[in-house]
Amino acid sequence: MRVLLGSMLCQCVFASSVQQAIAVLEQENPDAAIVDPGSEGSSASPMVSGFDKIYSSLLGRVLVLSGKESEPEVKDLLERYPLPLVSRDRLLQELWGNLESLFRSKTVLSRVVDAARLVFDSFLQPMPAGVRATQLPARRMVYQSENLMADLWLEPQTDSRHIALVGQIVDSARPDRQFDTVPVVLQGRKGAIALATTNKFGEFHFNFDFEPSVTLEIEVRGNHWVSVVLPCMEWAQRAAFAGS
C-alpha cells in the first residue's frame, strides 16, 4: 500500500490502530483517509468501535478497503455510513479513481451550510409560580431551516458534567419522510465531539461532557448541511448542581 500510494505521488501517514489514527488527526488535516478494517488479519471490532471519531473529523474524505468476505462489523459500518468501497483485489484499478474523486470533491465542491433558526424554547415560556429557571431539569428547543424541523431535548445529569441530548428531525411538508442514517455531528469549540446517525424515525442522541457552546450539524442531503447553534450551555451546568 505504501509503495502504491507513493507511486501516485501521495504523501502518507500510516496508523496501525484507531488510537494512533485519532492522534494523527489531532495533528494533521489529510486530504483523504483509507481505512483497512482487516489489516494484518486483525479483528475489525476495535476499528469499528472508534470509527465515529475518524468519520466526524474527515466527513466525505474516507474510503474503505474490503475483501471478498467482510466481517459482520464491517458490513454494519458500510450500511451505517455512505462510504466509497475499494476491493483489495482491485487496488490498482480502483484506488486512484476513488481517491481522485475525493480530492476533486474537496477542491471543486464547497459544503453548503444553512443556519437553522430557533422557533421554540421552553425556557422562554412563562415559569410556573415559585419555579426558577435553574430548577428546571431539562430544556426543549425546536429549530427550523426551510421545511426541516429539529426537535431537541437537553437534560443535564444531576451532580455531573454530563449532558444528554435527544433529538428528532422531521420534514414539516412531508411528515412521512424518513431520515434514516442521516449523519449528525456534535461540534464544540475545538471541533467535533461526537457523531451520531438517525434511525428511521429521524431520532438521534448524544451523551457528552459539558461544553460552554455546542453546535449540531445535520447532513440533510449530499454536501448540504443544516447548522443548529445552541444557546450558551452554562444553564445546564447551573441546573445540574442546583441545590447540591
198-226 pLDDT, tens per residue? 999 999 999 998 888 899 999 888 778 89
How much is the pLDDT for 13?
81
Helical (H) or strand (E) element with 53: helix 51-57
**Cβ(206)–Cβ(186) below 8 Å:** yes
Give the DSSP letter of residue 238: H
Calpha distance 220→195 (Å, rounded): 15
Calpha distance 53→51 (Å, rounded): 5
Chain position carrying cell 428547543: 141
How much is the pLDDT for 220?
87
pLDDT, average across residues 2-9? 61
pLDDT, average across residues 54-73? 72
How much is the pLDDT for 19?
78
193 vs 49, higher pLDDT: 193
Whether pLDDT at 123 is above 90: no
Whether pLDDT at 73 is above 80: no
CA distance to 3, 11, 151, 164, 221, per residue, from 182 (Å): 36, 32, 15, 19, 8
CA proximity to 141, closest of 158, 159, 124, 156: 124
Q: Which residues contact 81 (CB under 8 A, 6 or more apart)?
A: 51, 55, 62, 181, 183, 197
Q: Please give the grid coordinates belonging to residue 91.
A: 487496488
Give the architecture (CATH level 2) of 2-108.
3-Layer(aba) Sandwich (3.40)
Helical (H) or strand (E) element with 20: helix 18-27
Whether pLDDT at 51 is above 50: yes
Q: What residue ranges of the chain are covered by domains with CATH 2.60.40.10?
A: 113-240
| Mean pLDDT, all residues of the chain | 78
Q: What residue ranges of the chain are covered by domains with CATH 3.40.50.2300?
A: 2-108
pLDDT, average across residues 76-91? 75
151 vs 76, higher pLDDT: 151
pLDDT, average across residues 78-100? 75
Instruction: Tell me the per-residue pLDDT of 141-192, one tens digit each, with 9 for 90 and over.
Output: 999 999 999 999 999 887 778 899 999 999 999 989 989 989 898 888 877 7
| Range with the poorest average pLDDT among 21-35, 94-108, 226-240 | 94-108
CATH T-level assignment (fold) for domain 113-240: Immunoglobulin-like (2.60.40)
The answer to whether the pTM exceeds 0.85 is: no
Q: Please give the grid coordinates belonging to residue 100.
A: 481522485
Whether pLDDT at 140 is above 90: yes
